[in-house]
Structure 1
Amino acid sequence: MPTPPPPTAWVFDLSRVPEGEDLVGIGADLEVPTLYAAYRAGVFPMGVGEHGAPPIGWWSPDPRGILRVGDLAVSRSLRKVLPRFDIRVDTAFEEVVTACADPGRRGRWITSEVAQAYVRLHRAGWAHSVEAWQQDRLVGGLYGVAIGGLFAGESMFHRARDASKAALVGLHRLLAADADPRRLLDVQWRTEHLATFGVTNVRRSVYRDLLQDALRAPLPAAFA
């Protein structure tokens, strides 16, 4: 089990943030204690400049996109191709982050500063990758932050068709392994694509209640 870091100097207080306001702060740092405290408060970082450039913004979307354990929807066509992928955990974390941060990607937002911050968080035991492999070649995956029963997804990529979807299914299986209903997959913002997998929107106040329940749940064995 990873050891909680020392307290951060920054306070993530959402009590006076207006409903519907996603951006809740600017500044601070990206050190492990700060990131750990932010995720426990329901906040995550992303630069507010073009393509995620500084300054760092701190976000708590309202509404929030979530997937409750057990609610994953998998199409018949996707079920057929899942056996083509070998799902692994944390065997190529830095490569997954690098692929997600590819400057050629449309809508890119992961800067080198952000990528390095999550590598530090991974080395501290709080950030993880779920990877899709084919014939010992990394073809897709995702990474995020796991604290207790929360997995806060950050980004995903694919180099082969359905590879990122296979990684998502693999992540859900890890979270659902011991059927703890408190576990929660946070996807930040619901998109039409994610909605096809069962992702729904909840108000920030509801998310914060779900988050507290999730934090009290045990860390999935694959991430411990």
Structure 2
Amino acid sequence: MIDWLDDYQRPTFPDTSRAMHEPNGLLAGGGIVSPLWLDTAYRQGIFPWNDPEEERMWWTPSPRAVITPASFRIPRTVRKDLNSTKAHITANIAFRRVMQACAEPRGFSDSKDVGTWISQDMIDAYESLHRAGRAISVEHWNANGELTGGFYGLMIGRVIFGESMFSHEPNASKRAFATAAPKLFELGIELIDCQMKTEHLARFGLIELDRDDFEKQLILNTTKPTIRALPVVLKR
């Protein structure tokens, strides 16, 4: 059994050690997605994930998939593709459009699913965090100026909590991530939380941490000053 959270109280989550082993990481149900609830959850390594028509569910899987400055690498094929493409890559100029694209079924999926789990209330809450400088988006534009890929996530201190990616053409989100991640590390990000291991992100140097190590990294890095914003133009 999992705990059921009260929508009308301040967010208080069960200890993460109580998360289920099967399904991996299921911790609690209920609650809401508001900036306060999201900030409280992510600082503890907890995130919401459920189909829009289902009850809200909160997760904290272990092991946790992360990328660090030391583990990060750009696959040779992605680097070659990035150098030859005419893509234009930006940051934080189309946050809502990126979230909406991530919420739609897509033909070229670089994310953990091909359907949608991002509801309208989630889009509204994350957009509020974006306006406050707490959530970021990276956009991939093709030669015709069309938004064809990207990703978004939450930023707390020196941690990026990656949420979802989308591609409307092959490799678009890979190019966006390969461009943005080095700049984030240069600015002082110490940890990119990828939540769960995927073949797509494994190529970028993903490693897995057990719960204790991951939560120690969270305590250390979410309490540090937040980095300055990414440049608007990441690749011309």
TM-score by length of 2: 0.81
The one of 10, 21, 34 aligned to 1:31: 34
Report the Cα offset of residue 12 of structure 1.
2.4
Report what 2:211 is aligned to.
204
| Matched AA of 1:132 | H
Preserved contact between residue 86 and residue 134 of structure 1 (Cα < 8 Å): yes
Q: Distance in 2 between matches of 1:223 and 1:196?
A: 23
Report what 2:64 is aligned to.
64
Q: Percent identity?
A: 34
After TM superposition, the structure 1 stretch with the greater mean CA deviation from structure 2, 36-45 or 131-140, is: 131-140
Q: Does 1:128 align with 2:154?
A: no
Q: Does 1:184 align with 2:191?
A: yes
Report the Cα offset of residue 77 of structure 1.
1.9
Preserved contact between residue 174 and residue 222 of structure 1 (Cα < 8 Å): no
| Matched AA of 1:172 | A
Task: Compute the RMSD of aligned alpha carbons.
Answer: 2.2
Preserved contact between residue 167 and residue 173 of structure 2 (Cα < 8 Å): yes
Q: Distance in 1 between matches of 2:72 and 2:224?
A: 19
Cα separation, partners in 2 of 1:111 and 1:176, compared to 1, 3 Å:
same
Report what 2:104 is aligned to.
102
| Matched AA of 1:46 | W
Q: Distance in 1 between matches of 2:132 and 2:54?
A: 24
Deviation readout 1:144-202 (Å, 9 max, x if unpaired)? 10011110000001122211001111231222114x4x610001101223212211211
> Where do 5+ consecutive residues of structure 1 fail to align?
1-7
| Matched AA of 1:11 | T
Preserved contact between residue 67 and residue 193 of structure 2 (Cα < 8 Å): yes
The one of 167, 174, 184 aligned to 1:158: 167
Report the Cα offset of residue 108 of structure 1.
2.5
Report what 1:22 is aligned to.
25
Preserved contact between residue 140 and residue 164 of structure 1 (Cα < 8 Å): yes
Q: Distance in 1 between matches of 2:81 and 2:227?
A: 25
Report what 2:127 is aligned to.
119
| Matched AA of 1:9 | R
Cα separation, partners in 2 of 1:188 and 1:16, compared to 1, 3 Å:
closer
Report the Cα offset of residue 62 of structure 1.
1.0
